[in-house]
Amino acid sequence: MEDILRRCRASGVTSVLIPADNEETSRISIDAVKKYDGVEGVTLYASCGVHPHEAKTYTDDTEKFLRTCLESRKDKKIMALGEIGLDYYYDLSERTVQRAVFERQLELAKEYDLPIILHERDATGDCLDILRRFHKEGRLRDLPGVCHCCSCSLEASLELVKMGFYIGFDGPLTFKNNKKTPEVALNTPWDRIVIETDSPYLTPEPNRGIINEPCHVAYVCRRLAEIKGVTIDEAAQITYDNGKKLYGVN
């Protein structure tokens, strides 16, 4: 962990949010923040939540656990609920279960006033249906969260932006055969863009094939700057400021 943080610092990354995908990784995220926050000058933040892959494991006890975490979110530096959402690409949990667990956690996000880290893959239709309904009923925050590692169409991402979401770009933005994501980035308003790594997955070019870690976000930043026609420093500053606003960090 110290090595990872050292490499963060060396590449100019000063803050990292560690996402979770089930009860165990929520604990790991919270413990890592407790133990390593500030090491090598890197500020760490936690999240907790149950990923659609793990939706089938979600029980009343899981929700009790999440509530316990969220009650002490300020002490634990929990800045988001996630990753939560729908994944019909892998279908590792039944779709009806995924939808129900997504909705239960959306309720928690509203109740505890936290942004969500939305994971959506090949499920844009159902995902938007749920979010539209929550939005209409006033059950989404004004800044509902981030569509992380965005893989949906430009039309869908612009609808998410209208609902107040940020759009997160990761390694795929740098992939040579990916035409869609750069198009989405180009047309997403600057004030709604954040950059991420999705570590340990989806390592950006030119490091594809090795394990991903937060320092590699610099490559995503470089590609975003190229697409938007600004300097790397400008892209870094804007996305940093956006990230702070999204997660409510001062």
Taking CB under 5 A as the criterion, which residues in 56-85 touch Zn ion? 83
Min dist. Cβ of residue 249 to Zn ion (A)? 21
Cβ atoms of 56 and 87 closer than 8 Å: no
Min dist. Cβ of residue 2 to Zn ion (A)? 26
Say how many residues touch Zn ion, by CB under 5 A: 2
Min dist. Cβ of residue 54 to Zn ion (A)? 12
Under the criterion CB under 5 A, does residue 53 sit at the interface with Zn ion?
no
Taking CB under 5 A as the criterion, which residues in 100-119 touch Zn ion? 119
Taking CB under 5 A as the criterion, which residues in 173-192 touch Zn ion? none
Min dist. Cβ of residue 198 to Zn ion (A)? 6
Min dist. Cβ of residue 83 to Zn ion (A)? 5
Min dist. Cβ of residue 199 to Zn ion (A)? 11
Separation of alpha carbons 15 and 176, rounded Å: 28
Cβ atoms of 185 and 193 closer than 8 Å: yes
In the complex with Zn ion, the residue whose CB is nearer, 51 or 135, is 51
Site string for Zn ion, 201-230 (x = CB under 5 A): ------------------------------
In the complex with Zn ion, the residue whose CB is nearer, 54 or 224, is 54
Site string for Zn ion, 119-148 (x = CB under 5 A): x-----------------------------
| Residues of the shown chain interacting with Zn ion in the complex, contacts defined by CB under 5 A | 83, 119
